[in-house]
Amino acid sequence: MNDLLLRALKGEAVERPPVWMMRQAGRTLPEYRAVRAEAGGFKDLLMHPDRAAEVTIQPIDAYGVDAAILFSDILVVPEAMGLPYNLVEKVGPRFPETIRSRADLDRLREVDPGTDLKYVLNAIRVILDHLDGRVPLIGFSGAPWTIFCYMVEGKGSKDWTLARRMLWEDPQLSDALLSAITQATKAYLHAQIDAGVHVVQIFDSWAGSLSRELYVQRILPHMHDLLEGLSARVPVTVFAKGGSHFLKDLSTLPCTTLGLDWQTDRRWARALADAAPGGPKVLQGNLDPSVLYANPGIIRAETHRMIDELGIQRTIANLGHGLYPDIPTDHGRAFVQAVKEYAPATEQETTTSA
């Protein structure tokens, strides 16, 4: 078993950082598109355990990463709560119904993951069976705020005005919706852990739309609620994209790892993670995914600079957001290879530069 990721997450001394890429499953790989075409559509694919397992495992061979991430989507939770979505080709997710009032909220259901999200749990079992211990499996969900954004707006948005408006216009309704999402997500993540995932990542993709004060006062308590009890079971990563203005507040959460976006200063984040109240945090990140459009020589140099700045220990090498759909497979491979070949500056180089 390649347990490099799990050792790094325990804070054990490792020879190099483990590496995987957000959005490594799907998107760029031609072999993904073939399975997707066979399945019919995106949702058919993720509701079919054998096919979901196949595309989860593809990147292990295609890129040589040290972890698999479950092929699914964060939007399965709002759907299980009673708000179905469609993924419209080249447009993105669309929810025919949204939550704008107390009456809308009252129509939502309590989620029982064993029935409502059974297809995901079945996929996890098939994946673990097929992985046969090659690499650990990462489960995931959206964070309460990011799911709230989609449930209120019904589609992607540049600055989530309707969702932010609801926070101010109707604090009680927005808090009730955040609580409902948190409870559903908590049950879902516990079910993923029961099914065998080794690590869990919580994607707060739209954290950057909020001020520090608002995030701390209105969202962070729900994050605490979500994480409580989870992090005692498996290592948990919190990735709050655009949230470096409250990274210090995030470092108070009972999680193992903080995910960094590419805008975040690495040395500053490391100092902050080392000083976290519950003990040092692992950092995951944060190469700008657009670096992967450069030639492999530049990809390698930028990846090595990233590890120089983050350090080898308590680091998980990754991108600062998901892989873009048109990044060539061999450029993704160059990134992974660069991490595997990382060697810290030799003693001689260190003396010369000193």
Q: Which residue, 239 or 342, is less far from ligand CP3 as judged by CB?
A: 239
Query: Strand pairing partners for 239?
Result: 203, 259
The one catalytic residue in 32, 85, 150, 342 is: 150
Single out the segment in contact with ligand CP3 by CB under 6 A; choices: 70-78, 102-110, 242-250, 305-313: 70-78
Single out the segment in contact with ligand CP3 by CB under 6 A; choices: 6-14, 22-30, 158-166, 208-216: 22-30
Whose tokens are 């000193």? That residue is: 354
Q: Interaction with ligand CP3 in 88-117: which residues (CB under 6 A)? A: 92-93
Nearest 5 degrees, angle CA 198-CA 201-CA 207? 170
What is the distance between the alpha carbons of residues 211 and 141, in angstroms, rounded to a whole number?
23
Task: Answer for the pair 342, 315: CB distance below 8 angstroms, yes or no.
Answer: no
Give the Cβ contact number of residue 344 at 10 Å: 13
Single out the segment in contact with ligand CP3 by CB under 6 A; choices: 86-94, 222-230, 303-311, 312-320: 86-94
Q: Is 233 considered catalytic here?
A: no
Query: Is residue 40 part of the contact set for ligand CP3 (CB under 6 A)?
Result: no
List the one residue from 26, 113, 285, 332 that touches ligand CP3 (CB under 6 A): 26
Residue 295 beta carbon to ligand CP3: minimum distance, rounded to whole angstroms: 24
Residue 299 beta carbon to ligand CP3: minimum distance, rounded to whole angstroms: 19
Q: What stretches of 132-285 show up as alpha helix (H) in DSSP? A: 144-153, 161-169, 171-195, 212-214, 220-227, 247-250, 266-274
What is the distance between the alpha carbons of residues 257 and 268, in angstroms, rounded to a whole number?
16
Task: Answer for the pair 108, 178: CB distance below 8 angstroms, yes or no.
Answer: no
List the one residue from 42, 119, 262, 293 that touches ligand CP3 (CB under 6 A): 42
Q: Is 73 considered catalytic here?
A: yes
Single out the segment in contact with ligand CP3 by CB under 6 A; choices: 17-25, 171-179, 183-191, 226-234: 17-25
Listing DSSP states for 8-32 in one string gives HHTT---SS--B--TT-SSTT-HHH
Task: Answer for the pair 261, 321: CB distance below 8 angstroms, yes or no.
Answer: yes
Q: Is 50 considered catalytic here?
A: no
Task: Provide the token pair at 211.
Answer: 């001020």
Q: Which residue, 5 or 270, is less far from ligand CP3 as judged by CB?
A: 5
Task: Answer for the pair 133, 196: CB distance below 8 angstroms, yes or no.
Answer: no
Single out the segment in contact with ligand CP3 by CB under 6 A; choices: 21-29, 104-112, 181-189, 345-353: 21-29
Query: Is residue 73 part of the contact set for ligand CP3 (CB under 6 A)?
Result: yes
Q: Interaction with ligand CP3 in 129-168: which residues (CB under 6 A)? A: 140, 156
Query: Is residue 71 part of the contact set for ligand CP3 (CB under 6 A)?
Result: yes
Kindly state the number of chain residues that form the binding site for ligand CP3, as judged by CB under 6 A.
22
List the one residue from 322, 327, 337, 342 that touches ligand CP3 (CB under 6 A): 322
CA-based nearest residue to 282, from 312, 305, 245: 312
**Inter-residue long-range contacts of 344-351, CB under 8 Å, 24+ positions, other chains counted:** 344/308, 344/312, 345/308
Nearest 5 degrees, angle CA 207-CA 153-CA 208? 15
Indicate the residue whose CB is closest to ligand CP3. Answer: 26
Contact string 200-219 vs ligand CP3 (x = CB under 6 A): ---x-x--------------
Q: Is 218 considered catalytic here?
A: no
What is the distance between the alpha carbons of residues 55 and 34, in angstroms, rounded to a whole number?
10
Q: Is 266 considered catalytic here?
A: no
List the one residue from 7, 23, 245, 331 that touches ligand CP3 (CB under 6 A): 23
Residues that bind ligand CP3 (CB under 6 A): 22-27, 36, 42, 69, 71, 73-75, 87, 92-93, 140, 156, 203, 205, 241, 322
Residues labelled catalytic? 23, 27, 36, 73, 150
